[in-house]
Structure formats: structure tokens, C-alpha cells
Chains A and B, each alone.
Chain A
Amino acid sequence: MENLEERLTLWYNELKGDNFPLVGKKNANLGEMLKAGIPISPGFAITIHANDVFMRESGVKSELEKLIANECRESTPDNIAYLSKFAMAAIEKASMPPALEKHILEEYHRLCEHCGVEALPVAVRSSGAVSMPGQMETYLNIRGDRDLSDYIRKCWASSYCVEALTYRINRELGVLFNIGVGIPKMVNSRIAGVIFTINPLNGDPSKISIDASYGLGEAVVSGLVTPDTYLIDKITLDPVKIVRGSKEIECVYREGGSDIVEREVDEERRQINALSQKELRHLCIVSKKIEKYYGKAYDIEFGIDADLLFPENVIILQVRPESIWNKKKAEKKTAEPTDAMNMILKQLMTGVKFN
């Protein structure tokens, strides 16, 4: 097998969590999520090694080394500011080594082809092997070879911003620092929404609750529309209750631009359930995997991508622990005694009211 350490790019489905020294944590985690059966937007990682190749072959590395050895030996704020400015400018200005650029663009073209979209919009996300929260850049909606190449260098450059440099110097992580970059497809949601792996209204752990509406997730998340609400039996995956929402508008990307616009949903689409049976089922299976993987109730954002085919089009955008019911202590609901005979007696005494 080919040595992963020499690879310039690695696809998400080739990665697992402990590959973070090769591609950075964010990328490795995406690979791990895929392994756990959590579908994410398709894409690939540009390795830390690729960053190193760029730095060496472009000559930026030796320039920086000289600077550190001489003018910027002392880590004063002024020196750090100077070093940052110099490094970022040098990286953005330098041209990509042709072999590296050719390889990255070939992988990008494979991704375009896979999604059936020319000049596919992607995100360019920094991914360090050490967590440096919020200190490096992520660029959204990047399309075409030229922009992609430029923004990858911008992204590499961002690891030399003042905050990142200061952070590294304070923790003795070294000034020179290569990062991984993630290139996932921008999710072009036809339908999007939010999933809870419990019934958020009463904490019932045997249900999955899904809110979904047309277009990008913003419409549901920001409450612009009344979405469909689907309550599903978590164990059998049978629908328990479906409340159809009015779904008057949807948010979509502006044609040729990267900002979001609202538009009306036609009457016919308002009157039907946004999610099909098989999409619902698939979302539930994925939600169960997420809950099992993290070991507690989760709050999940998803999108159904217009550019991909089922089931690959079902994409998890974000996951976080459910915040209310996880904190509540599970209170006992049964009154003593709990033997069958006494339960039957109690039942006969109180009678029955079905909902």
C-alpha cells in the first residue's frame, strides 16, 4: 500500500480520526464521522505534507528561516507582526509548484465530476494538527481552478496570522507550521432542517423529531418558515405523527453569487411533505448512528443536496449535544409497587384515556 505520509491529498473516506498528524484534526474528524456512518459533504483534504512541499519548493520556507534566524530572533510583538505580514504576503504571492497544483486541481475536477457540476463551489477550510480555535481562515463558496488555487494559498497563509503565531510561540509549538486544508463540496440544500434524537417537547427517548423545509437550512434555523415536523419511532422507524408546515419561502444561493436570497415556494410543493419516505428513513438511521457514536441525545443540522443522488445527497452539516434533556436527571415515572398484578389493579381503578 502507498505510504499515506507521502500523499499530497487524501479523500475524506480514506481518513480516520488518528490520521490528524497528516491532515489536521478537522479533516481527520470528518473521516472518522464517515467511518461511523455519518454522511458528510464529499471532498478531500490537502495534506500537511503538501503544505510543506509548497513551502519548500516555492522557497518561502528558506526565506522565513533566514528571517527567524536573523531579524526576528526575538519574539517581540513587533517582530511577530512583521513576521506575520512577511509570511502571509510571501505565501499568497508565491506560485504553487506546478506538480502540486496539477495534482490538487485534478482532485478538484474529480469532485466536480462526482457531483456533476462544473466549477463546483467548495469550501476551503484550514485544519491544524493542533487545535487553534478560530485562528485560521475558512473560505466559502470558492469556484473554479484559479480561485481554488488562490484561496488554498490564502488559507495556508492564514496560519501565519498574528494570533496564530502568538499562540504557537507562547506554547513553543514552533514558528514554522504546516496545516492541512479541507476541500468539501458546498452543500446546495434542496431541503434542510434540524433533527433531535429525542422528542424535544417531552424528552421521550424513543422518538426522533425532524423539522424540515425547502432550500438552505437558514429558513428553518432562523424561523423564517413553519417547517414540516416529523415524529418518528426511533426503534421501528415508523412515522408517529406528521404535522405539515406552511413552508412559504425557501433560501437559496444567489445565481452566480455566494450570498443567500429568499424566494417563494409554489403552492403545490407547500401542500406535500418536503421529505420522502426513504429520505426520512435514511435521516433516522443516520441520526441513530450519531446518537450512538456520541452516546447521548444530539441536535443535528442536515441538508439534502440538489447536486447528488440518494443516499449520498443526505448530508450532515453540524452536530452538537442536545442541551435541555441531556441535563435533566432521568426522573422515575413509576409508582411502587411495580409487579404486574398491582399494575393491572391500578389500571382498572383509574380507567383509561387514550389521546
Chain B
Amino acid sequence: MAKQFLDPHDVPVIEGTEGWERMYPYYYQFSTDDKERNEYESGQLWYYDGLHYPEPHTPFDLIWDEAWYLALSQYNSRIFMVPPAKGIDHRIVNGHVYITPIGIADPKEIEARIPLFMKRAGYYYQNWDKIYDDWVEKTKELIAELEAVEFKNLPEMEDESVVFEHRGMGSGYDLCVQYDHLINMGFKVWQYHFEMLNLGYAAYVTFINTANQFFPDIPMATLTKMVSGIDVVMYRPDIELIKLAKMALELKLEGKLDAQTSFAALQQELGSSDAGKKWLAAFEAARYPWFWISTGTGWFHHDKSWNDDLDVPLANIKMHIESLQAGKDPSRPTEKLIAERDRIVDEYLDLFQNDDDKKAFAEALGIARKVFPYVENHLFYVEHWFHSVFWNKMRDLSRVLVDGGMIKDVEDIWYLNRADIKVLIDDMVRAWATGIVPAGRNKWPQEIEWRKGVMAKFREWTPPPALGVPPEVVTEPFSIVLWGVTTSVLKKWLTSLDTADGEISELHGSPGSSGVVQGKARVIRKVEDLALLQAGEILVAPTTSPSWAPAFTKIAGAVTDVGGPMCHAAIVCREYGLPTVVGTGNGTSVIKTGDMIKLDGDSGVVELLK
């Protein structure tokens, strides 16, 4: 077995992409000239964050990675003073983000941080519910502030109000400020995002391990059932759709809904009747904020929300109508779920013969339940609602840049990083003020064309699951729970380095969701390709997100490259009862579409059948 992965400095440059480094901030590069930094980098284990990033980053989209690089790290290292952990370091290789957890080696330093952590984190755990309520309020306020941002074309002549209200500022300056404000709000929402998340995960991990201590091999699905709250914000968009489906049936509009394929056409059709108007009003009311749910993870600019494409929720409403007509209730059986959760917890508590153990288990479960609403719901506020509005604001800005002659197409802006855009705006407003053509009007369109070519080559490259030297044990809780990187997983990844693709007949990952299934594989790397899925196939993807859920009614099982037992893919697949293996490392490169595979969601093994 290989002892280590490829040294991060030795990853070959893809031909034709030379100079790609300038697309991203310099601090994301593996060092070439700083010896100390270079040695540090070679000695770490860097793993590919395919959980969040199943595809390479266009320069602008790296913004969220930059945001959590700062936010997650600081809460560990400088705010809550987590005793043995600093932050998570980030690098980029051929457009793909690699991360590594930084620990604290000095026992004295760890010891000194303990009282600080107990005081600071203790405050959060003790006041959790109140802090969470405040968190929701301030995040909503921030989103309102984001919605208020406006990008306008620079005028030929400033409005006279600039004079008569003696504003003392012009539109060029406004544009610069609005852009900075937009970016700052993006970073701010990610400060909020991690305000409670590190502590939330620490509570989860504590519960998982406490439970395992008493009940070895307790299935992750059982733990999720014990913790899961019922009132989860992420289900709310679908609940709204079910309500609209029921209303359509009550108003006898189902025939009209069925006859129209687009929402625009339906709107026209329904606008002529009272019943139709009533339904449209309810639809409109449901849109804000619930239709800000993304059809992707929200991490990429191409992840559009329902509000961006109303045909998507319309199609889902039609599906719900069909279910209702067939006599099936598409609603989550809330009361049944609560009863089942309580039964499971009660029966587990009954198994204890020792009161101290019982108390420890109940405490760990209690704290995991307390953090649950935040851990689940922050996703909707940040990744879905905020991000969806944010991408649209960026498109508004991009229109101004297109109209100003700086770039060719609204969708070109993603090929510029946030710093590029800042200087580009600076260039544009100065040229506007001066009354000349901007300096970069030829440079940027050419650069963007070249970057598009580089991105295409990045997409064809399969990033290795890890780079550098594996540690003796992986102890960082985030790495394990979210990314599924454990010592044993690393060993399996290393073993697969020694085997040519054609010779591999078995892949090992973590059990994601129970059950055994056999079927044809369909390798899907991009959300857009989901349409290719045929009923009964096994989805093989770098990772999946809750918004891939509509596809889950079609498939027989799922295999992912990355992800641990608590990752979204595993949780969603459990909801759908689909056998799933997560964290195979290289499933998408070893398995080809059309291969017959057999996956065992209980043991975490995927067999390639000949």
C-alpha cells in the first residue's frame, strides 16, 4: 500500500491551463517560494472538499469558500477557543478546493484553552434557544438589507437631486460602495452561518459517540430518528406546494394546471376566473421566502431557486396533485414521526440498567436535540435564501457591466474573482467620470474567453481524493462527521491508488442508508444531468444535496465519492429509504454509466459486477 498521497506541490498542470493561478487569490496557492510554508504544506493531509464542491470553482464562486475558510476557522481558534483545534486551511488545485484541519500540538496550550472554552462555549449552550431566536431575526434583517441593494446603469447626467439635496456623492461612487456592501454582506452572513455550527456539530459528535459507547454499531439512521425535530424549515417549501396542490383540487383547477406546461401561460389562464385569482394569490404568498429554496446546493451561481424558475415548483405541485388524486397523502406524517421518535427514545432508555449511564445518554441526546433546529435550519437561511437573492444581485450588477461595455454577457461575470470585479468597476467608473473608454474593455473579455477554456479542462480532470501525508489518526470532528474522512477511509483510498481502474471490483465507503440493491449505474456530475436518470438506476455522484430529492423517487440507490454518515446525501437518502454508500473516494471515476453494480448500504461496500 502506498504510504502517502501525491505531494500537493507535484500535481501536474493540465496542458493549456498554464497561468490558471491568477484566477484565484494568491493565498489559495500551494507555495513555491516560501520554504517554511512549503514544508508545512507537504507534511499535511489535504483532502478534496467534494462534499460541497462536486465541480471546479469559477473564480467568483470561490467567494463562499473564502467565507467559511475565515468563519469556521475563527470560531474554533479565536472565538470559542476549542482546546485542541485551530481552523481548517484551504488551497486550490486545478479549480478544486482542498482542505486540511489544523490541530494544536502543545499540551500546555490545549490545557490553557480549556477554561476559556468552558466559559465561552458554555454560554452558548446554556442560552442556545434565545441565541438561536436572535440569530433568525438578525439573519432575516441582513437578507432584507441584501434585497434593498440596487445596481443601476451609470447615467449620462446625474439627477438634479444630487445638486438640490446636496448629496455630495455621485453614481460612480455609489456603484463602488454598493458592490463592496454586497460582498461584505456575503461574508457577514457566513460569519453568522458558523456562529453556532461548530458547537452544534460538537454536540452531535458527542451524542453519536456516547450512543456508540453504550450501543456499539447503533445505526446512524436510529440516531437521526432520535434527534430529528419535526418542525424543520427545510421541509417548509414542500409543505407550501402540498397546500397549493390541495387548494387547486378544492377549487377544481387541476385540469387547468395540467393543461399548461409553463407558469407564465398558467398565470394568464387563471387570471380570468375568481377561483384562479385566489389560487394565484396563494401561490404568490408562498413564494416569499419559501420559493427561495435552491434547486442545487446554493453554493454555485448556476443553482437557481424556485423563484428564478417557477416551472419547477409548478411541476412539483402537479406531482402532488397526482398523488392526492391517487388517494395518497404527500404530507409528512408528522404525528406518526413524533410518536415513532418518542417510542425509539423511550425503548432505548429502558435498556439501561445503570442510572449514571442513562443520565449521560439522556444528557447527550438532550444537547443534540437542542442544537438540531439550528444545524438543520441555517441551511435554508444562508445557502438557499441568502445565496439565491445574492446571485440575482450579482446578475443585476453584471447587466450594468455589460451595458458599460466591460464584459460581453451577463453570465461572464462568474469568470472574474471578487477582486477582479472591484478593479473592473473602478476602471469603469473612472472612464465614465472622465468621458473616455475604459482601459480594460478589451482585456477582460479576452481574459474571460481564456478562463472559460481553462474551466472546461478543469471539469474533465478528476481530482484525487487526497494529497499529502495521512496523519496517525483523524480527530477533527468536522472532517469526520461531514466529510467522512477517517483513518480507515484514508487507508482504503491509499489502497485504490495501487490498483488500475480496470482491476477494481469493489469500492469501500461508509454505510449511508440501509439496504442492498443491484442495478445499472448512472454517473452524474452536474445537477443539469439529473434529467438523464432512468427509473431503477443507481445514482453515482460526487455528492448529492436535498434539492436532488425529486430524483430520489426514481432511483434504486446512491453512491457518492465523499460524505460521512451525517452528510446531507446520507440524511436525505435515509428519508427516502434508499440504500446508500457514501465516501467511496473515487466512485465517479471507477464506475462508468451502464456498469452493473451492487451496493450494500449496511456494510458500505459497492461491488462492480461483470
Residues of A in contact, count (CB < 8 Å): 38
**Cβ of A348 and Cβ of B84 under 8 Å apart?**
yes
- Contact of A352 with B114 at beta-carbon distance under 8 Å, contacts A333-B214, A334-B357, A340-B366 already known: no
A70 is an interface residue with CB less than 8 A from chain B? no
Interface residues on B, range: 35 or more
For residue B205, which residues in chain A have a CB less than 8 angstroms away from its CB? 347, 352
With a cutoff of 8 Å between Cβ atoms, the chain B residues found around residue A330 in the complex are: 353-354
The verdict on B398 contacting chain A, using a C-beta distance below 8 Å, is no
**Is A338 a contact of B206 with CB atoms below 8 Å?**
no
Q: How far is the CA of A354 from the CA of B85 in the complex (A)?
A: 19
Contacts of A354 in B (CB 8 A): 480, 486, 488, 510, 564-565
Interface string of B251-273 (1 = CB under 8 A from A): 00000000000000000000000
* CB <8 Å contact, B84 and A239: no
Within B196-217, the residues touching A (CB, 8 Å) are 202-203, 205-206, 209-210, 213-217
Q: Does B571 sit within 8 A of A, measured CB to CB?
A: no
Determine whether A254 belongs to the interface, using a CB cutoff of 8 Å to chain B. no
Q: Are A341 and B125 in contact (CB under 8 A)?
A: yes
**B222 pairs with A238, CB closer than 8 A:** yes
B206 and A231: CB pair below 8 A? no
Within the complex, the shortest CB–CB distance from B283 to chain A, in Å, comes to: 39
A155 and B533 CA atoms in complex are apart in Å by: 68
A330, A332, A349: most-surrounded residue (chain B CB, <10 A): A349
Interface residues of A in 309-355 (CB under 8 A from B): 330-334, 336, 338-341, 343-345, 347-355
* Bound CA–CA A348/B203 (angstroms): 10
A234 to B347, CA, bound (A): 9
Q: Does residue A222 face the partner (Cβ distance < 8 Å to B)? A: no
Are the CB atoms of B348 and A235 closer together than 8 Å? yes
**Which 6 residue pairs across A and B have the least CB separation, nearest first?**
A351-B475, A330-B353, A338-B360, A340-B367, A206-B215, A334-B360
Contact B351 A241 (CB under 8 A): no
Bitwise, B462-489 to A at CB < 8 A (1) or not (0) is 0000000000011111001100001110
Known: A348-B85, A355-B217. A340 touches B602 (CB 8 A): no
- Determine the chain A residues whose CB is within 8 A of the CB of B344 once the complex forms: 235-236
* CA A348 to CA B476, docked complex, whole Å: 8
Besides A205-B353, A345-B83, A353-B487, 4 more A-B contacts (Cβ < 8 Å) are: A331-B354, A333-B354, A338-B356, A343-B363
Contact across chains for B476 and A351 when beta carbons are under 8 A apart:
yes
A218 interface residue, CB < 8 Å from B?
no
A347 and B206: CB pair below 8 A?
A: yes
Interface string of B99-141 (1 = CB under 8 A from A): 0000000000010001001100110010000000000000000
C-alpha gap A231/B217 in the complex (Å): 9
Q: A234 to B219: give the CA distance in the assembly, Å.
A: 11
B83–A204 CB distance below 8 A: no
Smallest CB gap from B110: residue in A? A349
User: A344 to B206, Cβ gap below 8 A?
Assistant: yes
Residue in chain A with minimal CB distance to B489: A354
Give 20 CB contacts A-B under 8 Å: A199-B216, A233-B222, A235-B344, A236-B219, A238-B222, A242-B603, A336-B356, A340-B367, A341-B122, A344-B121, A344-B203, A347-B206, A347-B477, A348-B83, A348-B84, A349-B83, A352-B475, A353-B486, A354-B565, A355-B217
Q: How far is the CB of B467 from chain A (nearest CB, A)?
A: 22
Which of A204, A207, A236, A331 counts the most B-chain CB atoms under 10 A from its CB? A236
Residues of B within 8 A of A234 (CB): 347, 351
Interface residue? B375 (CB, 8 A):
no
Contacts known (A340-B203, A348-B82); A333 close to B219, Cβ less than 8 A? no
CB distance from A219 to the nearest CB of B (A): 24
Task: Establish whether residues B367 and A238, one from each chain, have CB atoms under 8 Å apart when the complex forms.
Answer: no
Inside 8 A of B351's CB, which chain A residues have their CB? 205-206, 234
B152 to A: closest C-beta gap in Å: 49
A276 at the interface (CB under 8 A from B): no
CB distance from B346 to the nearest CB of A (A): 9
B185 to chain A: which residues have CB within 8 Å? none
Q: Which residues of B contact A353 (CB under 8 A)?
A: 473-474, 486-487
Q: Tell me if A132 counts as interface (CB < 8 A to partner B).
A: no
Q: What 0/1 pattern do residues 338 to 367 of B give for CB contact below 8 A with A?
A: 000001100110010110110110011011
C-alpha spacing A347/B118, complex, angstroms: 13
Q: Are B480 and A204 interface neighbours, CB within 8 A?
A: no
Quote the shortest CB–CB distance from B228 to chain A (angstroms): 13
Contact A239 B347 (CB under 8 A): no
Contact A349:B218 (CB < 8 A) given known A339-B363, A344-B206: no
CB neighbours of B210 from chain A (8 A): 343
- Please pick, from B214, B216, B363, the residue contacting A340 in the complex, using a CB distance under 8 A: B363
In whole angstroms, what is the CA distance A177 to B117 when docked? 79
Kindly list chain A residues whose C-beta atoms are within 8 Å of the C-beta of B118.
341, 345
Within the complex, which residue of A233, A238, A340 is in contact with B125, where a contact is CB–CB below 8 Å? A340
Asked if B182 is at the interface of the complex by the 8 Å CB criterion, the answer is no
Chain A residues, Cβ within 8 Å of B488: 354-355
Write out the residue numbers on chain B whose beta carbons fall within 8 Å of the beta carbon of A204: 214-217
- Distance between Cα atoms of A97 and B473 in the complex (Å): 81
Please tell me which one of the listed residues A235, A241, A333, A338 contacts residue B217 in the complex, with CB atoms under 8 A apart: A241
Residues of A with Cβ closer than 8 Å to B? Answer: 199, 202, 204-207, 231, 233-236, 238-242, 330-334, 336, 338-341, 343-345, 347-355
Using A202-B216, A204-B215, A341-B125 as known contacts, say yes or no to A236 and B222 having CB atoms under 8 A apart: yes
Q: Which residue of B lies closest to A288 (CB)?
A: B347
Task: Assess whether B222 is in contact with A235, with CB atoms less than 8 Å apart.
Answer: yes
Residue of chain B at shortest CB distance from A201: B216
Q: B302 in the interface, Cβ–Cβ < 8 Å? A: no
Q: Which residues of A contact B202 (CB under 8 A)?
A: 344, 347-348
Tell me how far the C-beta of A289 lies from the nearest C-beta in chain B, rounded to whole angstroms.
14
Q: Does B225 contact A (CB under 8 A)?
A: yes
* Shortest Cβ gap from A354 to chain B (Å): 5
User: In the complex the two chains form, what is the Cα distance from A207 to B212 in whole Å?
Assistant: 12
A234 to B480, alpha carbons, bound, how many Å?
27
Chain B residues near A336 (CB, 8 Å)?
356
User: Does the CB pair B359–A338 fall under 8 Å?
Assistant: yes
Give the complex CA separation of A347 and B82 in angstroms: 11
Q: How far is the CB of B106 from chain A (nearest CB, A)?
A: 14
Tell me whether A343 and B602 are in contact (CB under 8 A). Answer: no
Enumerate chain A residues within 8 angstroms of B122, measured Cβ to Cβ: 341
Measured CA separation A206–B218 after assembly (Å): 8
Specify which chain A residues have a CB less than 8 angstroms from the CB of B545 in the assembled complex.
none
Q: Confirm or deny: B94 has a beta carbon within 8 angstroms of a beta carbon on chain A.
A: no
**Shortest distance from the beta carbon of B188 to any chain A beta carbon, whole Å:** 27
Residues of A within 8 A of B85 (CB): 348
B477 and A348 within 8 A (CB) = yes
Residues of A within 8 A of B603 (CB): 241-242
Complexed CA–CA distance, A286 and B221 (Å): 23
Per-residue CB contact flags for chain B residues 362-396 toward chain A (1 = under 8 Å, else 0) read 01101100000000000000000000000000000
Contacts of A239 in B (CB 8 A): 514, 602
A345 CA / B222 CA spacing, docked (Å): 24
What are the interface flags for B225-265 relative to A under an 8 Å C-beta threshold, 1 for contact and 0 otherwise?
10000000000000000000000000000000000000000
Contacts of B82 in A (CB 8 A): 348
Verify B480–A240 contact, CB threshold 8 A.
no
Q: Given A204-B215, A332-B354, A340-B203, answer yes or no on A351-B360 (Cβ-Cβ < 8 Å).
A: no
- A146→B447 CA distance, assembly (Å): 100
Q: How far is the CA of A332 from the CA of B360 in the complex (A)?
A: 11
- Chain A residues with Cβ under 8 A from B206's Cβ? 340, 343-344, 347
Please measure, in the bound complex, the distance between the C-alpha atom of A270 and the C-alpha atom of B210, giving whole angstroms: 38
Question: Are B363 and A351 in contact, CB atoms less than 8 angstroms apart?
Answer: no
**Contact assessment for B347 and A235 in the assembled complex, using a CB-CB cutoff below 8 Å:** yes
Among A242, A341, A354, residue most surrounded by chain B Cβ atoms (within 10 Å)? A354
Interface contact A352-B219, CB-CB below 8 Å: no
A345→B214 CA distance, assembly (Å): 19
Which residues does chain A contribute within 8 Å of B84, judged by CB atoms? Answer: 348-349, 351
B44 to chain A minimum Cβ distance, whole angstroms, is 17
Residues of A within 8 A of B214 (CB): 204, 206, 333
Inter-chain contacts of B216 with A (CB < 8 A): 199, 202, 204
Chain B residue nearest to A231 (CB atoms) is B217
